A and B are shown apart, each in its own frame.
Chain A
Amino acid sequence: MLELNNVWKVFENRQGRKEVLRGIHASFRRGQHVGILGRNGAGKSTLLRVLAGVEAPTRGNIRRSMSISWPLGGGYGIHTSLTGIANARFIARLYGLPLQRTEEFVADFSELGPYFHEPVKSYSSGMRSRLLMALSFAVDFECYLVDEALSAGDARFANKCLEVFGIRRQNAAMIMISHNASHVKRYCDTAAILRNGMLEFYEDVDEAIAAYQGL
């Protein structure tokens, strides 16, 4: 369970105060796949970082009784000067996973071939996102926070990610943020719209998409 109770996030900058999140109420359960739609600058990434517990809310509180992934996307949590295998070992040590098993899993899932032993900075963006997803799937998180990362791979790899989420469904939740309605339709069962710093939930993905496109 991941519960947010009246969560606010305010940034102070030269132009004054900017209220990015203005009282978010939400709860996410295991097995739920929730898409969060929002225009650019709506505060989606901020929300994801607050959910991940890497940025503190200005006000309000968050209760976490699931193990939550780091925000997956944009290469967060990958060290580009290190090789793929060194990244896998880093994650294994960080999250207390058996080293060799993790290396095998990441090598196998990411399909990087010989590039697994090359520095990440030599990777294409598709390869990076494959490594990122493999690293995060190597840890049995109970909740995955996805920042449109799934979109970077090709269709076959996207299907593979879907398959993993299918297998982990009973145990794992996924919260995906996107400005792209078709991604949300593909991966999620329910959806919400982040607008004016508040989150509106919809039972039905199509309903949410219709409301989002009407914005």
Chain B
Amino acid sequence: MIGDVPRREQMSPAAAQLGVISGLFIREMLTRVGRSRLGILWLMAEPIILSTMISMLHWLSRSDLPNGLPVFLFYAMSYVPFMMFRSIVNRGSGSIQANISLLHHNRITLLDVTLARNLMEMMVCATVIALYMLVATLFLDEPPHEPALFVFGLLLSALLANGLSMVIGSAQVVWEWIEHLVHPFTYLMLPISAAFFMLSAMPPATRELLLWNPLVHVHEMNRWAMFGDRVTPYYDISYVLLWALLLNLVGMAGLRVARPRLSISD
């Protein structure tokens, strides 16, 4: 019996990599869900509570939106993707030190850890978005205009956040003080990312300035994907893709630089 060990299955490097990421993903989920049966609901509770509160505030203050846009959905559908961006970036800071014991397995790379964690975050927010879309369709008579485009938008902001989290995480290995700038940065991103206002309501000069921020493009696109021609969006997908590509490349290079500097010792 003792000699009868499980044999490893032959697999390609890509399949092995996927195995590593799925193992890490499930571990992440188990850790965050905890052992209670309601854990999976708690995972979604945070984005739901926060976005509901924010949207309720705007709804109660009777904010006026043009073209009969629904107030609650308008804020909720922008806030959840922004929250995903924020939590991926915030978690990126310090994530290397927090997961350092995983690196005892030499097949686990920092990239695997990052991807598994961020994938998890994205799936949580995508589920909440899907839930809101369902509610919008069934109860509010607001079926999403282009749901697939919204999912693409979510993916874009996840990619941006993924790249940025790697850049920040690896920079922190060299300069520890960066940690203190991450939360202020993500906090200040909210007012300049057009999550809560539309570019069409801005003077042209401000609009041009805001369009330097790739997140603005994503939020504008998402709004059109949700509400269709009741909004006039300003976005350029190729500009966002360029940012996503750059951030991810720099981030991956950063992780490569950071890895040999890490000491796994306790």
Interface residues of A (CB under 8 A from B): 11, 45-46, 49, 52-56, 68, 70-71, 74, 76-77, 79, 81-82, 86, 89-90, 92-98, 101-102, 105, 108-109, 119, 137-140, 160, 163-164, 167-168
Contacts and interface: CB of A to CB of B under 8 A. Distances in A.
A140 B2 contact: no
Q: In terms of DSSP, what is the predominant structure of the interface of chain B? A: loop
A139 B2 contact: no
A82 B31 contact: yes
Scoring A81, A96, A98, A109 by chain B CB atoms within 10 A of each residue's CB, the highest score goes to: A96
Contacts of A56: 259-260
B19 A54 contact: no
Nearest to A102: B6
B27 interface: yes
Scoring B8, B22, B259 by chain A CB atoms within 10 A of each residue's CB, the highest score goes to: B8
Contacts of A90: 23, 26-27
Nearest to B260: A56
Given A79-B31, A82-B27, A93-B23, A52 B104 contact: yes
B185 to A, nearest CB: 29
Given A11-B263, A56-B259, A140 B105 contact: no
Contacts of B11: 96
Contact of A119 (B5, B22, B35): B35
Contact of A93 (B19, B31, B259): B19
Scoring A52, A93, A105 by chain B CB atoms within 10 A of each residue's CB, the highest score goes to: A93
19 contacts: A49-B104, A49-B265, A55-B262, A55-B264, A56-B259, A81-B31, A82-B27, A90-B23, A90-B26, A93-B19, A93-B22, A94-B19, A96-B16, A105-B5, A105-B6, A119-B35, A139-B6, A140-B6, A164-B3
B101 A77 contact: yes
Given A54-B104, A108-B1, A97 B263 contact: no
Interface string B113-137: 0000000000000000000000000
A168 B5 CA distance: 10
A-B interface, 7 closest residue pairs, ranked by CB to CB distance from nearest: A93-B23, A56-B260, A53-B106, A101-B6, A167-B3, A76-B104, A97-B6
Scoring B4, B9, B20, B23 by chain A CB atoms within 10 A of each residue's CB, the highest score goes to: B23
A101 B260 CA distance: 35
Contact of A49 (B6, B15, B22, B264): B264
Contacts of A167: 2-3
Interface in B1-60: 1-9, 11, 15-16, 19-20, 22-23, 26-27, 30-31, 35
Contact of B2 (A82, A92, A163): A163
Contacts of A53: 106
Contacts of B3: 164, 167-168
Contacts of A164: 2-3
Contacts of A68: 106
A93 B101 CA distance: 17
Scoring A45, A54, A68, A81 by chain B CB atoms within 10 A of each residue's CB, the highest score goes to: A54
